[in-house]
Amino acid sequence: MPYSTEWIPNEVFLKHQGVDVYRVYRHDEIDNVRQYNFGMTDQASDDGDGNGEFDVRHLSTWTQQCPCQNQGTDERVIAAIKAAIDSGELSSFGDCQDGSDD
């Protein structure tokens, strides 16, 4: 039986200082949201093609001594991404680090 797959843009995870950060999905399936991998475009994928994907744990702002370490995972992720944007580590597509190992 034939079927059709519809591509939809990635959901915006957060907006900060004019920079949009998008969710990335394991195998590009909407029900498989990655916890630590994000993208700088709404087309970012977990296939490692260098399309603006990054692993938040690889950012310099993600450390074991993070002052937010007692917060939940989402709060730590948000704090690390915002700090990376503020410092210029993440600013636009192409300025982020690749990685998809969560």
More confident residue, 66 or 85: 85
Q: What is the pLDDT of residues 10-60, one digit of tens each?
A: 999 999 999 999 999 988 888 889 999 999 988 888 876 667 899 999 999
- Rounded to whole angstroms, the maximal C-alpha distance in the chain is 54
**What pTM value is reported for the model?**
0.77
Residue 101 lies in a domain: no
C-alpha 15/C-alpha 8 separation (Å) is: 19
Element (H, E) at 85: helix 73-87
Residue 52 structural domain: 12-87
Residue 100 lies in a domain: no
Q: Sheet with 12-16: list strands edge to edge.
A: 12-16, 19-25, 33-39, 53-55
Residue 98 lies in a domain: no
Residue 7 lies in a domain: no
Give the pLDDT of residue 83: 92
Residue 65 lies in a domain: yes
Residue 6 lies in a domain: no
Residue 4 lies in a domain: no
The count of domains in the chain is: 1
What mean pLDDT is reported for the chain? 80
